[in-house]
Structure 1
Amino acid sequence: MGKFYLKLFIISLIAAFCIFFGVDLAGKGVERVQGPASAGSAVKSAAAAQPPAKPEAKAAQPAKKPETSNSKPEQEVAQREQVTADSGINRVSNKAGDLLQIIAYHGIKFFVSLLDGIFG
């Protein structure tokens, strides 16, 4: 009877590892698609907690100067250059991340089939 409980404990540990690893992997995938959830919710809750400002306080602040039309195209060109410079690195890192996800998926599948073969 002792061996049965040892096997059950080992299976439970492996199942818990697979579940937590899968949840972590899914969470990272969601963050990659939608962005980090904690930053957005913190900003929304902070904005909701603050009372609206009084109109008199807004009128007392000096008005901001409008940006000149010459600075905008320069900023857009700089942003485009940075995006094209990082695109090679981004592609490599995205492919590496996809490879790790595939390896994790097949690794979990292998452990499940191994346990099924042993105890099934």
Structure 2
Amino acid sequence: MALTFGERIALLRRRRGLTQAELAALLGVSGNTISRIEQSTHGKWGFEDVKGKTVAALARHLHVSADYLLGLSEDDREMAWSPATSDAPQATTRDITEDLEPTPAKPKAQRQRVRKASANKRERA
């Protein structure tokens, strides 16, 4: 039988030698939050109720993929995280968000700026 989101968190936390309080401190949440997540099977405090950034932080600190935590993959191999790779998606999201901030006076110019920024990012990739 597949492990629940909470069971996966508890198992990985123990493997890393962390207490609930230590993991909570790394994430900037309370120890009670970690306890509730680990004890939940679904609904309140299951993965449906955990913010995406918290799932990403859990994956980073537990050295697995978010897909594994969410039950989308059974591959629990330890992943290497570096500041460069773990911050990259956030920077991209921030860049896109800034590009999409409304400028009501010039919507056409804004669309052109977004298209140009997207094209530049694809060229760099």
- What is the TM-score of this pair, normalised by structure 2? 0.27
Q: Tell me which protein shows more helix as a share of its residues.
A: 1
Question: RCO higher in 1 or 2 (8 Å CA, sep ≥ 6)?
Answer: 1
- What is the TM-score of this pair, normalised by structure 1? 0.27
Larger Rg: 1
